[in-house]
Structure 1
Amino acid sequence: MQKNVLIIGAGGVAHVAAHKAAMNNDVLGDICIASRTLSKCDAIIESVLRKGHLKDASRRLYSAQLDALDIPATIKLIQDTQSDIVINLGSAFLNMSILEACIETGVAYIDTAIHEDPDKVCEQPPWYANYEWKRKDSCDAKGVTAILGAGFDPGVVNAYCALAVKRYFDKIDTIDILDVNAGSHGKYFSTNFDPEINFREFVKVWTWIDREWKEYPTHSVKRLYDFPVAGEQPVYLNGHDELHSLSKNIDANSIRFWMGFGDHYINVFTVLRTLGFLSHLPVTLTTGQEVVPLKVVKALLPDPMTLAPGYTGNTCIGNFVKGWKDGKEREVFIYQVSDHKKCYEEVESQGISYTAGVPPVAAAMLIANGTWDVKKMVNVEELDPEPFIEILDRIGLPTEIKEIEPNSAFSFNGFVRPIEEELLESTATVTVSAANPMIALKPAK
């Protein structure tokens, strides 16, 4: 049975999701793309049609203008479009408003990140308990399917955890989620998704170690790892959305998240943060005008969608899982590699948006066919991972699974030592030229 879909948001991730939804509209039916800026929605539709991605031409692909903070307006749009599934790909500030509209109308809800309050950053964990999980009972009472965090991370990596439990381990010791982008966009500096959300993530590090929350300074714990295809890359212990549900739903002693950052990124980030440019709180200028420094930085940086045409290189995201199977130690790396250039050739997107935009469409397809239409609120790891991974394999995100010899040179060491020891090895060094700032892209040898 076809299920009409409403995609809320018109950024890079929504662009990818619209392409993939259109390519599978024999399952997903009519597709409406809604955002505050109608022209952005129409630009996505133009891209989908130009690439010939509307599989069933008899189904509608159209746009609507929407302020998703306006719950009554969102309710009305859901009803007017006769949507059965809402994919929330807007700002994380919108989650609770869109979720409320879905509960009110009784339609399925999918998002890709945890809700954020604009006035708060890196709140006390677990973050889901501060917002979304408070609406669990309402979803249960109304039989509303709400799938939280169905992007890649969170999302696919959560499914990899569930797959590890289901197929590869009797008991899990540690899970290290590794996310690297070994790509080059040719700009002096840019984030790969919304700069405001990107920078807010790195205020502090909350991680799950020895079955409790521990806090570390940003970019203070560093490892080097030789990734498939992407090669040797530096990764830093970081906080991230998926830890806040996995810590509750997956039986493991430690679950950590590591993200790749080059020296140049850390250099620019540290200068901006030290000078106060990453503050989410308003400051008053001498003119009396109030501005939010982080929003100014966002306005000055390139729009992540503009990076796509010239992007080269690969992403590699996956879970390094250690534990025991049949009484023996086991280590498995479950991962996915995407090529920026191939992503652009297919859907006119860079690889970061691609990896985030494909999974919510796979989740929508599983709701449409009944497999994941669970009539309650869940995180991805609470669902059967194999149908999800099977669809992802078919529609653009094939999974690889690599057995690792336990405690070998190919193992990942995620054990965190005392912070004083870690800081000695986490220094970033760059070469900077005032006459030619682009030289800063080349770390000193």
Structure 2
Amino acid sequence: MKKNVLIIGAGGVAQVAAFKAAMHNDVLGDIHIASRTVSKCEAIIAGILDKKALKRPGVLAAHALDALDVAATKALIAQTKSQIVINAGSAFLNMSVLQACVETGAAYIDTAIHEEPGKICETPPWYGNYEWKHRDSCERKGVTAILGAGFDPGVVNAYAAMAARHYFDSIASIDIIDVNAGSHGRYFATNFDPEINFREFTGTVWSWQNSQWTANAMFEVNRTDDLPVVGNHTTYLTGHDEIHSLSANLDVPDIRFWMGFGEHYINVFTVLKNLGLLSEQPVTTAEGVEIVPLKVVKAVLPDPVSLAPDYAGKTFIGDLIVGERDGEAAELLVYNICDHEETYAETNSQAISYTAGVPVVAAAILIAKGVWDCHHMANIEELPPLPFIELIGEMGLPTRLRDAKGDRAFDPAEFRTERQKTKSRA
């Protein structure tokens, strides 16, 4: 069994991860939180102690770290005797943290695909540009590296794998739908790092259609669905991490990601983009100062963590899957509903952070117990989905299903039969 967890990052997702790791420190051991700003780590620890979230007395420590510094990250892994590293920081950190884990033998988990500051919406399959290039070194050294273990990517990948292995005989399409039906009361804000948030939407929208990559512009294609609990919502075709791995690992011709946006968000986004304020490329002011417009926008917007106390409403994230089962056409909606006020009461965080932070700790627990300690690099859909889906339900993210039988809670006993396998790793 692996023990002792190092959480890198001190934003909303890292905060939830730290709370949940503390609640399971009987399995995970010592919990360490590291960030460039150590005071943010200390604030998270103060919140955990205030809510008495530690399951049992144990180590809960804060550390200053520049995670782009591989040597410093390796030293902290060794100092803390951490055997599992949760990279809950910026996606810009992935490759350096992964390298530190490969060189120390610690298991690696992240929540999003790697990004380079000067590039956006890279040519598919995006994972092939970065993480997948290190598959051989992980396998050679027996290092477990689990990619995209948040909710989307992450849980939605497990939903797709569950459907492929245990429900359908063949799948024609997977439509991943993400709707935040909550409100934070601010004029304008993003629910996670503004820099990463905007970068998702300023370039080409890549989707997998007719077994090939298809390019669209942001807000060009939309759909409207009547969704459980949150009701009728319009969502927009958006490029997203999970499409880049699901298209490689599942034999499905159409895989798309849809995200909900209000009219106000679209209007503000459009103005910022048209003014060039969402550019990731540096410009020089009249005073000779070089700045990146997107970083300026990030600096003036509210910190996503600060939104949590005023957030109300619910989120919906799920997979709408169409295929064939027992010789007949079939449709399955697999989804989760999360409540902003409930997640704040438990972890001082809003539901967007909660839906990403809970699964990454569930992945750590499965590694610690040996269930997912695979000793190679894997995306979520390449791992057994049922233990993961069952565990996140126990940890606060219950799954529901809607099909011809009606809407009901997920029961793992219903999905024990193997119908098909995911494709072997490319």
TM-score range, shorter chain: over 0.9
Residue in structure 2 matched with residue 190 of structure 1 by the alignment? 189
1:129 aligns with 2:128: yes
* Cα deviation digits, residues 233-289 of structure 1 (max 9, x gap): 110000000000000001111000000001000000000000100000011110011
Instruction: Answer yes or no: is 1:328 the counterpart of 2:323.
Output: no
Q: Distance in 2 between matches of 1:309 and 1:290?
A: 36
For 1:413, the equivalent position in structure 2 comes to none
**Which residue number corresponds to residue 25 of structure 1?**
25
TM alignment of 1:308-323, pairs within 5 A:
308-323=308-323
Is residue 2:84 matched to residue 1:85?
A: yes
Is the CA contact 2:224–2:232 (under 8 Å) kept in the aligned structure 1?
Answer: yes
Q: Matches of 1:223 and 1:290 in 2, distance apart?
A: 41
Report the Cα offset of residue 209 of structure 1: 0.3
Whole-Å separation in 1 of the counterparts to 2:197 and 2:37 = 22
* Matched residue, 1:422: none
2:219 is paired with a residue of what secondary structure?
coil
Residues 134-213 of structure 1: pairs in structure 2 closer than 5 A: 134-203=133-202, 204-213=204-213
Number of aligned positions between the proteins: 405
Alignment deviations for residues 404-444 of structure 1 (CA, whole Å, 9 cap, x no partner): 599xxxxxxxxxxxxxxxxxxxxxxxxxxxxxxxxxxxxxx
Match of 1:381 in 2: 381
TM superposition shift of 1:224 = 1.4
Q: Name 1:366's counterpart in structure 2.
A: 366
How much does 1:227 deviate? 1.2
Task: Confirm or deny: 8 A CA contact 1:176 1:319 kept in the other structure.
Answer: yes
Q: Which residue of 1 aligns with 2:420?
A: none
Matching residue of 1:435 = none
1:343 aligns with 2:343: yes
Report percent identity of matched pairs: 64
1-side partners of 2:49 and 2:251: how far apart? Answer: 45
Q: What amino acid maps onto 2:175 in structure 1?
A: D
In the alignment, is the contact (CA less than 8 A) between 2:74 and 2:101 conserved in 1? yes
Corresponding residue number in structure 2 for 1:265: 265
Residue identity matched to 2:70: I
8 A Cα contact 1:331 1:405, kept in partner: no
- Change beyond 3 A, Cα 1:186–1:214: same
Separation in 2, partners of 1:22, 1:159? 24
Indicate the SS of the match to 1:312: coil
Give the conservation status (yes or no) of the 8 Å contact 1:330–1:405.
Answer: no
Letter in 2 for 1:140: E
- How far does the alpha carbon of each residue in 1:158-195 deviate from its partner, in whole angstroms, 9 at most, with x for none? 00000001221000000000000000000000000000
Question: For residues 128 and 404 of structure 1, what CA distance do their matches in structure 2 show?
Answer: 36
TM-score, structure 2 normalization? 0.94
- On the 8 A contact 1:4/1:85 being kept in 2, the answer is yes
- Superimposed CA distance per residue, residues 342-386 of structure 1 (whole angstroms, 9 cap, x where no aligned partner): 011111110000001000000000000000000000000000000
CA contact (8 A) 1:175 1:322 kept: yes
d(CA) in 2 for partners of 1:201, 1:396 = 27
Residue 299 in 1 paired to residue 299 in 2?
yes
1:333–1:404: 8 Å Cα contact kept in structure 2? Answer: no
Give the AA of the match of 1:385: P
Whether the aligned pair in 1 keeps the contact of 2:312 and 2:340 (CA below 8 Å) is yes
Query: Is the 1:276–1:293 contact (alpha carbons within 8 Å) kept by the matching residues of 2?
Result: yes
Distance 1:255 1:404 in 2: 22
Q: Would you say the 8 A contact 2:2–2:84 is kept in 1?
A: no
Give the Å deviation of 1:5. 0.2
Q: Which runs of 4+ in 1 moved over 4 A?
A: none
User: Which whole-Å CA distance do the structure 2 matches of 1:187 and 1:330 have between them?
Assistant: 42
Kindly provide the amino acid, as one letter, of the partner of residue 8 in structure 1: I
Letter in 1 for 2:84: I
Correspondence for 2:242: 242
Residue-by-residue CA offset, 1:21-62 (whole Å, 9 max, x unaligned):
0000000000000000000000000000101100111x2000
Partner residue in 1 for 2:410: none
Partner of 2:215: 215
Secondary structure, counterpart of 2:313 in structure 1: strand
SS state at 1:183 partner:
coil
Note the aligned Cα RMSD (angstroms).
1.0
Alpha-carbon distance in structure 2 between the residues aligned to 1:353 and 1:254: 28
Aligned counterparts of 1:212 and 1:404: Cα–Cα separation in 2: 30
Structure 2 unaligned segments of length 5 or more: list them. 407-426
1:4 aligned partner: 4
Q: Indicate if the aligned counterparts of 1:28 and 1:365 stay in contact, CA closer than 8 A.
A: yes
1:19–1:347 contact (8 Å) kept in structure 2? yes
SS of the aligned residue for 2:321 comes to strand
Return the alpha-carbon distance in structure 2 between the equivalents of residues 376 and 200 of structure 1. 30
Q: Does the CA contact (< 8 Å) of 2:148 and 2:380 recur in 1?
A: yes
